[in-house]
Amino acid sequence: MKEILADLDAWRDEGRRVALARVVNVEGSGPRDPGAAMAVSDNGDVVGSVSGGCVEGAVVGEALDILQTGERRMVSFGYSDDEAFAVGLTCGGTIHLFIEPLDW
């Protein structure tokens, strides 16, 4: 999260609403460790990353949805899920993300 703090501060100063996605668990081979973070602003700007680029697109969609509904939730991407074929986590592992509005 450290590397996106400056962007988060700037967005907050501009009064943007922001969703924060963090990797909380990785099973098998995963590109980023727990703690990897990305953030999405309400106009769709993105900073940071949670994988090697495999699932970021899908995370943006989830994050924007969470900004709409305000409901924080766990989202998983993995080889074993149907989702994996849709978004393509090529490393063969499963990553679990916690996505929430940055309202704290």
Which chain residues interact with other proteins by CB under 8 A? 1-2, 5, 8-9, 12, 22, 24-25, 33-35, 72-74, 98, 100, 102-104
Q: Which is nearer to other proteins, 5 or 86 (CB)?
A: 5
Q: Which residues of 56-81 are buried (b: 16+ CB within 10 A; e: fewer)?
A: bebbbebbeebbeeeeeeebbbbbee
If the CB atoms of residues 69 and 85 are measured against other proteins, the closer one turns out to be 69
Q: 2 or 14: whose CB is closer to other proteins?
A: 2
Give Cα separations from 63 to 28, 52, 98 (angstroms): 24, 18, 10
Give the ranges where the chain is alpha helix by DSSP (H).
5-13, 56-69, 82-87
Closer by beta carbon to other proteins, 74 or else 86: 74
Can you read off the two tokens belonging to residue 66?
Answer: 């969470």
DSSP single-letter state for residue 43: T
